[in-house]
Amino acid sequence: MTKVRFAPSPTGKLHVGNIRTALFNYLFARKAGGVFVLRIDDTDLERSTQAFEDGIRTDLNWLGLNWDETFKQSDRFDAYDAAAQKLKDAGLLYACYETGEELDRKRRLQMANSQPPVYDRSGLRLTDAEKAAFEAEGRKPHWRFKLSGNPISWTDLVRGPVTIETSSLSDPILIRGDGSYLYTLPSVVDDIDYKITDIIRGEDHTTNSGAQIEVFEALGGKVPNFGHQALLVGADGGKLSKRLGSMSMEDLRGEECIEAMAVNGLLARIGTSDPVEVFHDIDAILVDFSLDKLSRAPARFDPEELTRLNSKILHTTDYADIQIRLTEIDCDAGEQFWNAVRPNLEKLSDARAWSDLVKGPVTPIIEDAEFVAKAADMLPDGELDGDSWSAWTGAIKEATGRKGKQLFMPLRHALTGQQRGPEMAVLLPLIGHDKVQARLRGENA
């Protein structure tokens, strides 16, 4: 049974890079009929907050990336303590007493001698008496995992064959001097206990995976498959700009008013061999999804492409599927209204201007009062409908001899107070007879 996890730390808001990882895990699980787990990596008790955790859950729900199981690392310290003890007993987790400054000095010296800045394993050679002396000085040990020094190889789900030379790595610190866990050990313990079959994450974790595979083996766990996707870069291939890199999901769904399926659709397709297309639901993305299609080159994230996709999605979204969203942003003015305005929308929030325009009050622009007054006299009586605009303007044309822009623009300006917008034929019945009359008379209505 395929089982994957998305494991954010609740020390900040989710941004597009994290979401891409979440999306790939979700799609991978669904494609295999497997299980998608949300793990909250909150071992850093000081920087993790409930608000960030709630935000992560809200974002994922909003995107439709629903998890089947969820848990928090802060509930599992007993399991991590037991695993650490097991490694200590096996002689694979050893105490070190260097201060940060001392380690820095060692590294600088190694570099000055053209040696790689790899930890020299002094901790491993300490006698009990030396350790006792450090402790008596008030030093607390941090704990390092003893790597084998052998090359570690796997077939990466994205990158193909990968080899990490553990001989060129420092033994990783698993437990800090204050007793807190770094991410490496808890993650492996959880992946073993929760029977995770595939770990899909960013390529910044590739080296880490080499060390973690050895921890899996040391704990007697089954080593999962790994897939490391390339990171996101900006549209020009350079580093994601600060603004975009830090653009949170909360901004995208709130202030930017972007649709969930624009985010999902774009992130699923950039950096793959498939084109960016309009999808109205996640199941449609699933059809062609495969990690095999991911390029090893970084994926370019272009916010303009996001906006373009967003507008294409809106243009083809049915009223029934958007009604809740329209209500959320307080601009639901019915199905006719939606069908009339959607071709003009880039973002859903653009609909607000049009719903305000229909509901009023609007300040008319009247350039030629005489013409507009004549038009007002000729407005058909009673309810206006889809045919009213052509009947009305046809009659005005006959009476005044005006046509084209000369005929339509003054009416649009008077009725909407704007230079352009949705088709007047559709707008007219939405505004309604009384408001049309009032606006033609120059009243705010």
**Residue among 183 and 194 whose Cβ is closer to ligand GLU:** 183
Q: How far is the CB of 58 from ligand GLU (least distance, A)?
A: 18
Per-residue tokens: 69: 């199981």
Q: What is the CA radius of gyration of the chain?
A: 31
Stretch binding ligand GLU (CB under 6 A), from 1-9, 139-147, 166-174, 215-223: 1-9
Residue type, 137: E
**157-196 residues near ligand GLU, rule: CB under 6 A:** 183, 187
13 near ligand GLU (CB under 6 A): no
Q: How far is the CB of 90 from ligand GLU (least distance, A)?
A: 23
**Residue among 9 and 310 whose Cβ is closer to ligand GLU:** 9
Instruction: Kindly state the DSSP code that residue 281 receives in the 8-state scheme.
Output: S
9 near ligand GLU (CB under 6 A): yes
Per-residue tokens: 250: 């909360």
Stretch binding ligand GLU (CB under 6 A), from 7-15, 113-121, 166-174, 322-330: 7-15
**Partners of 27 in the β-ladder:** none
**Residue among 21 and 272 whose Cβ is closer to ligand GLU:** 21
**Residue among 25 and 166 whose Cβ is closer to ligand GLU:** 25
**Partners of 72 in the β-ladder:** 40
Task: Give the contacts of 43 (CB within 8 A, at least 6 positions apart).
Answer: 73, 74, 80, 180, 181, 182, 183, 186
272 near ligand GLU (CB under 6 A): no
**Partners of 70 in the β-ladder:** 38
Closest alpha carbon to 36 in 73, 69, 1, 61: 69
Q: How far is the CB of 40 from ligand GLU (least distance, A)?
A: 9
Mask: binding to ligand GLU, 27-56, rule CB under 6 A, as x and -?
Answer: --------------x---------------
Cα separations in angstroms, 102 against 143, 182, 313: 16, 20, 57
Closest residue to ligand GLU, based on beta-carbon distance = 41
**Residue among 201 and 413 whose Cβ is closer to ligand GLU:** 201
Whole-angstrom distance, CA of residue 271 vs CA of residue 299: 4
Q: How far is the CB of 13 from ligand GLU (least distance, A)?
A: 13
Task: Give the contacts of 434 (CB within 8 A, at least 6 positions apart).
Answer: 445
**Residue among 28 and 371 whose Cβ is closer to ligand GLU:** 28
Which residue among 3, 4, 7, 48 contacts ligand GLU (CB under 6 A)? Answer: 7
Task: Give the contacts of 46 (CB within 8 A, at least 6 positions apart).
Answer: none
Which residue among 3, 4, 8, 98 contacts ligand GLU (CB under 6 A)? Answer: 8
Q: How far is the CB of 430 from ligand GLU (least distance, A)?
A: 48
Closest alpha carbon to 426 in 343, 307, 362, 370: 343
Stretch binding ligand GLU (CB under 6 A), from 5-13, 118-126, 216-224, 365-373: 5-13
Per-residue tokens: 394: 């046809």
Closest alpha carbon to 7 in 207, 235, 198, 266: 198
**Residues found near ligand GLU in the complex (CB under 6 A):** 7-9, 41, 183, 187, 201, 205
